[in-house]
Structure 1
């Protein structure tokens, strides 16, 4: 709490009595009255917070102190009831009193929260000038600041505990939601499988029903799969229980060790931590050197890798050329074999022509003339024979016509 806030609280606590002690003859305008009411509401809010803090401190330190305060508040309530029959005068004065003593107007609120209402009554009655607590000790600004700091620390601790509890509850609910999600997915899969295998595929169109053996086979398979999954889950559960027991034992051992620790142990742990830090520092230095060496090695590796890639590219080119040359050699071998076959064929023809040429003799001219004359005579004889055959054919046809005409007549 700042000094400005502390001074404002003290000013508010002093100004209430001034507003209440205003004479009935004072006349206030509407704007002033509204402003005064708003200021009183603000002061009542601040005083309510102070009363709540005081009540919490008293209930935390010694709840039995609240009995005397309750009796004093009852006396103040009676005093307020007796003084209410007097002529209060102006509307502003009655409004301020009602705003300060609104907690005393309902007895049911006194029954529901006596401690809170009692503190409000103590503060209101003390500032009204009734004299009940006027002679008692007052709380200064430093004490108020200490009380507020203590209450803030307590509230922060409670908030942290509530936050941790809420986190655990949220984790539990999240796990339950995940479990329910998995269950719903499994149920949907089982329903779809049942509908597909039993209701759709198992329907007998002839008998118009689902055979019992389909149902029994489906249930048998389902129980077998379920038993297998249950076995896996049991094994996993036993493993988790073993791990939980182990971790629980470790936590128990650590708790026992923490109870038996001494300042010497902390000094020893500090020395060990210092040694470990030095070792870590040296290891980090070595790691930096290793990173430097690794960088150089990576650079050399990149250079050699580039050269190797170039050599591989040249090697692939050479291999490709070798394959092309091999294919060319194969084609040339085929052409050579074809040419050799053609050469053998031509050689055979040449040999035949050579034999014919060696065996061939040029005939005599007179012999050639004689042979040609005989050939011409033979051709003339063949032509005459053809003419004779043609004449005989014509004669045969005429005889056949005559014979035909003779028989039909």
Structure 2
């Protein structure tokens, strides 16, 4: 009988069954809530990792495009190499941009930490007040987070647009600077041309004044010549013959004196050389050519029979030369 009673199942009433079912439901709900919480955390972590990977992929793609652009623009055509200064400048710019992105991420992390601290403080405050954090608070926090993410995204888009505008502005500024430099160069060339034309104009004015003076001078000469032509009278035939005979006599006398002068100069040169040889000098003395009449007569009177023929010839040529030029 005992063995038979032990093999029979224990009888459970309806109340106990209800308690067991409610307990099982509560445990299932608790495990389901834990699973949802864990899944939500995993979802958030995976989403953050995906955003980080997308950001890294965009940055790597952007860096690759920039590096390819630098490689194409900076490659030397002769040796197919990139200059070191261009590559260093590119890396410095890339590191600067990376530092800016890190600063943005740091600020975003600080903002998230501040929000998390606020939520933790709110949770602790409600826990101290005996309240529990319900799903509405979480949804409210999620909505605030989404709103903040949208604001951050909008600000990033505005920042990108500002960078594009700044880039376009820099390009326009560079183009305007080049145009301004060209205009300045054109103005300088025009100023130089104006200065040159001004100098040419002054020179032309001076030449015009000189030409005007020459014209006035020629006009005066023309008037004088015209007066001379108007007042000119043909001379008589006898006067013409007489004047021509006088001119012929004058020419004959001139030629005779020229021959005499040539002979005297030749003799003077010859006897001057002889005097230099007699005196033993290389240059003639000026006093030889300034003898007065009484000195010449004294030389002639004082000559001795022992004087050489050359000395007597010199004295005579000096006397003739002095008489010829009186």
Which has the higher relative contact order, 1 or 2, with Cα contacts under 8 A spaced 6 or more apart? 1
TM (norm. structure 1) is 0.28
TM-score (norm 2): 0.35
